[in-house]
Amino acid sequence: MHERSGKVLAEDLEMPRTMFGRGLGLMFRKTLEPGRGMWLIPCNGIHMMFMNFPIDAVFLDSGEKVKKVYRKLPAWWGIVLLEWGAHSVLELPPGSTDDFDLQRGDQIVIQ
């Protein structure tokens, strides 16, 4: 949930617990349904190789505050090598962040 607006970014978050699961992430899937997402923790960089759809990526610091938002990272070509100070990333369906005025430092509440 975006604390400032009270809006929910995703109702259902997958949280891979292993390094292998985080490395695999959303690769090879056909889609990511609206309202769903993946929370990769720890993570400060992502790639889109073997991804079949674009995503919105919200990088968070260790207190779940927004560091940076990447909208509609393209399948296969998008890459974020390193988001300095990020501790995790929310991977969401493309367009999920369009209705949010996400700003650096905004608190995200993950329950």
For 90, half-sphere exposure in the C-beta direction (CA atoms, 13 angstrom radius) is 32
CATH number (domain holding residue 61): 2.60.120.1140
Task: Report if residue 20 sits inside a domain.
Answer: yes
Domain count, the chain: 1
Task: Report if residue 104 sits inside a domain.
Answer: no
3-state secondary structure of 29: coil
The low-confidence residues of the chain, meaning pLDDT below 50, are none
User: Full-prediction pTM beyond 0.85?
Assistant: yes
State the pLDDT at residue 67.
98
DSSP-derived pairing of the beta strands 46-47 and 79-80: antiparallel
**What is the distance, to the nearest Å, from the Cα of residue 101 to the centroid of all Cα atoms in its chain?**
16
State the pLDDT at residue 111.
86
Place of tokens 């329950």: 111
Which domain does 64 fall in, by range?
12-92
Task: Report if residue 48 sits inside a domain.
Answer: yes
Place of tokens 């997958």: 14
State the pLDDT at residue 72.
95
State the pLDDT at residue 63.
97
Task: Report if residue 103 sits inside a domain.
Answer: no
